[in-house]
Amino acid sequence: MATLAIPLEGLTLTAPQPEMLSQKNVESVTGIPARVFLDTIRGPGFPLPVTKLGKLRLVQREAFVAYLHARAGDPASRRDAEADEGTRVAAVLAAAGLEPVLCARTGRAGAENAGRALHRPRRNRKPTHD
């Protein structure tokens, strides 16, 4: 009988992938941050079933990865979705008597301009005397 010593650096332990993804394990499995995962599964038109257990949100791993691959492979659908969102935002602003202010650099409503898009212009104030 012989004893064989194997250094720990020489061992690789592989655990099976989880069947379900949640905000707790999604980053370690897919590299997607938990906030992005939650925003994605809560977004309008998310096609996969989401199981709710308290605050935990679960989706099947294989289906979610397939969904991500489908979204990544179809840039035209992303452009269409962004255009639809821009149209809806413009309609809401127009109903309030406002208009979007576009960012000169990107041509889109930017965070630095968002406040101006939501406020009516100030009226002229009377000058104050010192």
Instruction: State percent of the chain over pLDDT 90.
Output: 33
* pTM higher than 0.75: no
pLDDT at residue 114 in the model: 47
pLDDT at residue 5 greater than cutoff 90: no
pLDDT at residue 35 greater than cutoff 70: yes
Pairing type for strands 56-60 and 20-21 reads antiparallel
Amino acid 125 reads R
H or E element, residue 20: strand 20-21
pLDDT at residue 15 in the model: 80
Sign of the torsion angle spanned by Cα atoms 7, 8, 9, 10: positive
CB 22: neighbour CB atoms within 10 A? Answer: 19
Amino acid 74 reads D
Q: Residue 21 forms beta bridges with which residues?
A: 59
Could you give the strand order of the β-sheet that contains 51-53, starting from the edge strand earlier in sequence?
A: 20-21, 56-60, 51-53
pLDDT digits (tens, 9 = 90+) for 51-106: 999 999 999 999 999 998 888 886 665 566 666 677 777 777 777 777 777 666 65
CA-angle at 89, arms to 72 and 108, nearest 5°: 65
Task: Give, rounded to a whole angstrom, the gap between the first and last alpha carbons of the chain.
Answer: 101
